[in-house]
Structure 1
Amino acid sequence: MAAETHEVFNQVPPLLGHDTAADPALLEGVAREGAAWALPEIHDVGRLAGTAEAIEWGRLAERTPPVLYTHDRYGRRLDEVEYTASYHRLMETAVSHGIHAAPWADDRPGAHVARAAKFYAWNVDAGHGCPISMTYAVIPALRANPELASRFEPLLTNRAYDPGLRDPETKAGLIAGMSMTEKQGGSDVRANTTTATPLPGEPGTYRLVGHKWFTSAPMSDLFLTLAQAPGGLSCFLLPRVLPGGERNGIRFQRLKDKLGNRSNASSEIEYHDAIGYLVGEEGRGVRTIVEMVNQTRLDCVIGSASGMRSALVQATHHAQHRSAFGKRLIEAPLMRNVLADLALESEAATTAMLRLSGANDRAVHGDGAEAAVRRLALAATKYYVCKRGPAVAAEALECLGGNGYIEDFDLARIYRELPLLSIWEGSGNVAALDALRAIGREPQTLDAFFAEAELAAGADVRYDDALAELKKELTDVADLEVRARRVVEQIAVVFQAGLLLRHAPSAVADAFCATRLSRDWGSAFGTLPAGVDLEVILQRASPGF
């Protein structure tokens, strides 16, 4: 008889039945930023995200990417994208929990913080988060045209997911997208060549002709776009379906074959006399649409922090169950160092994200000082945290060894997703230069940032030295653009360190200052110095069972 060789043992069980919101840094930050009232629903979202059913929705949506149909079987233009049923379940869940635009219809302090926490916890698929994020972000830009806002905002904020192409004002709820970049310009949106011609006798209505290189979620109901009007680059709202049910002149050329984010359709489109409505003033399109960009940049930070936490939890779960060399991996000193180092990066990102979400919430309600903090700290944090995400995912993947590199395991997908968040809404150079632009054009933002940073002064000499060094760097304007990445990284790390010193356990803050500020640290994760309290750090990193 042949010997049995396929007994499976020492393999890690699936990570199921946990609460993705059971993250101490998240829960403490939510309460600190004024959204404790939302904790029950945040936990509802987190528990749902940890179920086998929701995880399967995410897997199937990513494994079954959307399909473009440009024409029907008779040769007529169709311009429709078909999604898997799992994608629609994900969208329905996100919208029903208000993770889209619902906070704009909620005057409670902390509503935007609560939404950020739910967005963070609902981490089963990153692709559908793109239209959810854009729907959230469209509202402040749309308010530059009060008439359009009064028509569409109630439908954008409603907790009803209503897919399908119909006159938007006949639907129960709407999803929004954004279409700015063109192939010759990319982030240089002022190089756009799409034209917008006013319609005689119809004030505020234009015909658009042009080609857009990236339009995500092309089956959305409404889009904000940029085009060259007679008065200069301007912002427009384009519906997919016009009043009465006629399709607008938006033609899909192809879907992009992306590294990750595969459940989300990103398309290349053409406008053929598409009808658009002016949002804001002619010639002020960038200033108008930047209100949307600010919100989506914050979502890039939220998504990066969420991805880091997901990668950390997967790696920690693996180490708790896998044995090697006579012990569980979680008991091996070097593995504990690696996991604790990843946990520091994750907690710092989450804490910064929540502070920015709180600043955003208060800025929305008219707090100018908080708006100034958000302006600079968000640009710097978007630059830095979104770059740290892929590095964290790569190290977490390595904790699983060969299994981490296999698509059957979740870390491969997390690893492919995270680079997008550093690219979307301005890649590294754009984000770094935007931070310098804020300092140069809006000096009150730097004053607000340093006022925030000074709140942690005196708590740690390493922090005080880093803050003094940052001030010195910013007083030297020579070659500042060449040093942009260096300086903006310093801003982001000082911001994180100050928050950890004020709010995190002393073991976490001490380890962060020792490594990220004093550089008692190697060039790879897992190089924390001797004497760091690994146990306290790792306790906060464990999956939330």
Structure 2
Amino acid sequence: MGAEVVMINTHEVENQVPAREGVDEFTSNVPLVEAVARWGRGGAEASARPEASAQAEASAQELARIGALVGSSAFQRDAERANTHPPVLQAFDRWGRRIDEVEYDDAYHRVIGAAVAAGAHTSAAAAPGPGANVDRAAAFLLFAQVEPGHACPVSMTHAAVPTLELAASGLRDEWMPRLLSRAYEPRLGGDGGGGGTTKQSALVGMAMTEKQGGSDVRANTTRAERRGGSGSSSGAASWGAEYGLTGHKWFCSAPMSDAFLVLAQAQHGLSCFFVPRVLPDGSRNVFRIQRLKDKLGNRSNASSEIELDGTTGWLIGEEGRGVATIVQMVTRTRLDCVIGSAAGMRQAVAEAAWHVRHRSAFGALLVDQPVMSAVVADLALESEAATLTAMRLARSYDEDADGAEQAFRRLATAVSKYWVCKRGAGHAAEALECLGGNGYTEAFPLARRYREQPLLAIWEGSGNVIALDVLRVLAREPEAFEAFFAEVGAAAGESPVFDAALAAARSLVRELSATDAASAAFLARELTERLALVLQGSLMLRYSPGGVADAFVRTRLGDEGGRQYGVLPRGADVAGILARA
């Protein structure tokens, strides 16, 4: 007889945190629920119509459906797979024909397909009205919270709508229904892709920056040469003036998209063009994807360098007015940078709060240990302020926004983009640390989030670009500052700390209005930071519970906070803050 085999069990797995799955990411996000109820379609401050309550209920139900979807284990697995199986460039087919296609994992298609089906791209344009942009922003936030890479083409399609409105009627009428569609069709169509021009939906990207210029798009060298007649080579006579574009774009986002807004130098200066991948006759446009960028994060989304060589494009707006034309798109993608950063902060807080409520150390749950609860509470304060900022900003983009609201959003978009996006990276790092070694591994989502957050501070203008934009507003659009301070000043008298910060911000604005350009530029970041903090402080004082608002104002606008997260004022309502996390 053989010797008896003894199985040795070295240990039981215990004190590990259960998977955070099966969570409704909408209803569990109290600040977001409150913001939608206040500013969303049918919300308390968005509509006084009789049918408003029914609209609000329908919106809440749809967002809860999305919240349950993105909180499911299946969606989370797809999010992970889309990032661990990144897109691959297929420059040629197997017979050697140039196709310039990007191949994605099926998980990515399921993620973006769900976002498009939910209207996270263009629902506000398809069914405009008070609160429409808030509901759309909430849906966008929920999807981006779990898988941020797909949000790039979703955002650009959303943002392309107002620019496409400036196109010739034939082009607009042909393409606008595709942008507003909730169908998702991954294949390009045309030669090599099948389907000709029958595709009924579309995603839109952009290609602005070049090697020599970066953010200085006026240094672009891509040329645009007018072709004789209208639609002379493409069969699209009603699409307006047709051009041939030649040049290299250093960053082209989401190159698998169906069309792009592109900046190029025409006879009368930098101009904006609509460049489809498939031409009206079903042939492929010249759009050579040279390589995909190897990025720090945002791995599920392809970014590329492209070569244009006589590529067909149609003028949008006027020649020489390219920046003014495409800025309609840029402004809304900046809005989505704010929303996306808020989404990342929410994921970070949710994962950290989940971990500390289930993990024990030194004889107690982490959440019951004051040093840890203070850190998570501080992270939650940042997340709530970012969510309020994003949703209030989205409300200012609704079609019923009056002149004051439009002036407010002109400044508030830049200010919020600068501050909220910059806070994202440090916030993710601190949240990751709450999970200890687990947080630093790719098996947990915060490692991916840590690599993701810096992108949104760069995309659509890094810090200096945005701060200088704020100075341009100060010099050219004083009404924007009037509208901004009218909004922010609604919280005056609620807190002496806030009142002092508001007075200091106003004083700095007066100082910079009277100083020379070089001195103003030196203080541009200080100005932008001060404006962002008084905006967030005002929103927190007006809309968050007293203990939450008090802790935020005293730490961010006063001198009772620390240089790192977790330094809260004595007597802060930590339990109340954590209850909302």
TM-score (norm 2): 0.91
Aligned partner of 2:51 in structure 1 is none
Aligned partner of 2:13 in structure 1 is 8
Question: What is the SS of the residue equivalent to 2:22?
Answer: coil
Aligned partner of 2:361 in structure 1 is 324
Matched, 1:473 2:518: no
Aligned partner of 2:330 in structure 1 is 293
Aligned partner of 1:106 in structure 2 is 127
Distance in structure 2 (CA, Å) of the matches to 1:491 and 1:366: 21
Matched, 1:142 2:164: yes
8 Å contact 1:55–1:124 — kept in the other structure?
yes
Query: 1:497-523 deviations in whole A, cap 9, x for unaligned?
Result: 001111100001100111111121111
1:428 is matched with which residue: 458, 463, 466? 463
Distance in structure 2 (CA, Å) of the matches to 1:111 and 1:366: 12
8 Å contact 2:23–2:68 — kept in the other structure?
yes
Distance in structure 1 (CA, Å) of the matches to 2:30 and 2:226: 54
Aligned partner of 1:26 in structure 2 is 32
Matched, 1:357 2:394: yes
Matched, 1:215 2:255: no
Aligned partner of 1:155 in structure 2 is 178
Aligned ranges 1:200-211 → 2 under 5 Å: 200-202=228-230, 204-211=241-248
Distance in structure 1 (CA, Å) of the matches to 2:448 and 2:103: 22
TM-fit CA distance, 1:146: 4.2
Aligned partner of 2:84 in structure 1 is 63
8 Å contact 2:197–2:282 — kept in the other structure?
no
Matched, 1:536 2:576: yes
Aligned ranges 1:227-266 → 2 under 5 Å: 227-266=264-303
Distance in structure 2 (CA, Å) of the matches to 1:514 and 1:356: 23
Distance in structure 1 (CA, Å) of the matches to 2:400 and 2:549: 31
Distance in structure 1 (CA, Å) of the matches to 2:175 and 2:90: 28
Aligned ranges 1:72-471 → 2 under 5 Å: 72-122=93-143, 123-147=145-169, 148-166=171-189, 169-202=197-230, 204-361=241-398, 364-365=399-400, 367-471=402-506
Query: 1:44-99 deviations in whole A, cap 9, x for unaligned?
Result: 11110000000011111000000001122232212111000011101110111011
Q: Please identify runs of 4+ aligned residues in structure 1 that moved more than 4 A.
A: none
- The AA in structure 1 aligned to 2:21 is L
- The AA in structure 1 aligned to 2:403 is G
Distance in structure 1 (CA, Å) of the matches to 2:283 and 2:183: 23
TM-fit CA distance, 1:163: 1.6
8 Å contact 2:342–2:386 — kept in the other structure?
yes
Distance in structure 1 (CA, Å) of the matches to 2:296 and 2:11: 34
Query: 1:250-293 deviations in whole A, cap 9, x for unaligned?
Result: 10100000000011010100001100000000000000000000
Distance in structure 1 (CA, Å) of the matches to 2:270 and 2:400: 29
**Structure of greater Rg:** 2
In angstroms, what is the RMSD of aligned CA positions? 1.2
Distance in structure 2 (CA, Å) of the matches to 1:519 and 1:170: 61
Distance in structure 2 (CA, Å) of the matches to 1:207 and 1:237: 11
8 Å contact 2:124–2:136 — kept in the other structure?
yes
- The AA in structure 1 aligned to 2:508 is E
Q: Which runs of 5+ in 1 are unaligned?
A: none
TM-fit CA distance, 1:109: 1.7
Query: 1:409-457 deviations in whole A, cap 9, x for unaligned?
Result: 1110011111000000000111111111112111100000111111100
Query: 1:281-326 deviations in whole A, cap 9, x for unaligned?
Result: 0000000000000100000000000100100000000000000000
Question: What is the SS of the residue equivalent to 1:476?
Answer: helix
Distance in structure 1 (CA, Å) of the matches to 2:225 and 2:474: 37
TM-fit CA distance, 1:469: 0.6
- The AA in structure 1 aligned to 2:349 is L
Question: What is the SS of the residue equivalent to 1:170?
Answer: coil
8 Å contact 1:103–1:157 — kept in the other structure?
no
Distance in structure 1 (CA, Å) of the matches to 2:511 and 2:10: 67
Aligned ranges 1:486-525 → 2 under 5 Å: 486-525=526-565
8 Å contact 2:255–2:302 — kept in the other structure?
yes
Distance in structure 1 (CA, Å) of the matches to 2:487 and 2:277: 44
8 Å contact 1:183–1:212 — kept in the other structure?
yes
Distance in structure 2 (CA, Å) of the matches to 1:420 and 1:108: 31
TM-fit CA distance, 1:165: 1.5
TM-fit CA distance, 1:102: 2.5
**CA 169–461 in structure 1, closer or farther in 2 if over 3 Å, else same:** farther
TM-fit CA distance, 1:368: 1.4
Give the share of equivalent positions with the same residue, in percent. 54
TM-fit CA distance, 1:533: 0.7
**CA 72–169 in structure 1, closer or farther in 2 if over 3 Å, else same:** closer
Distance in structure 2 (CA, Å) of the matches to 1:102 and 1:161: 14
Question: What is the SS of the residue equivalent to 1:524?
Answer: coil
Distance in structure 2 (CA, Å) of the matches to 1:308 and 1:222: 31
TM-fit CA distance, 1:348: 0.5
8 Å contact 1:141–1:291 — kept in the other structure?
yes
8 Å contact 2:229–2:241 — kept in the other structure?
no
Give the number of aligned pairs: 539
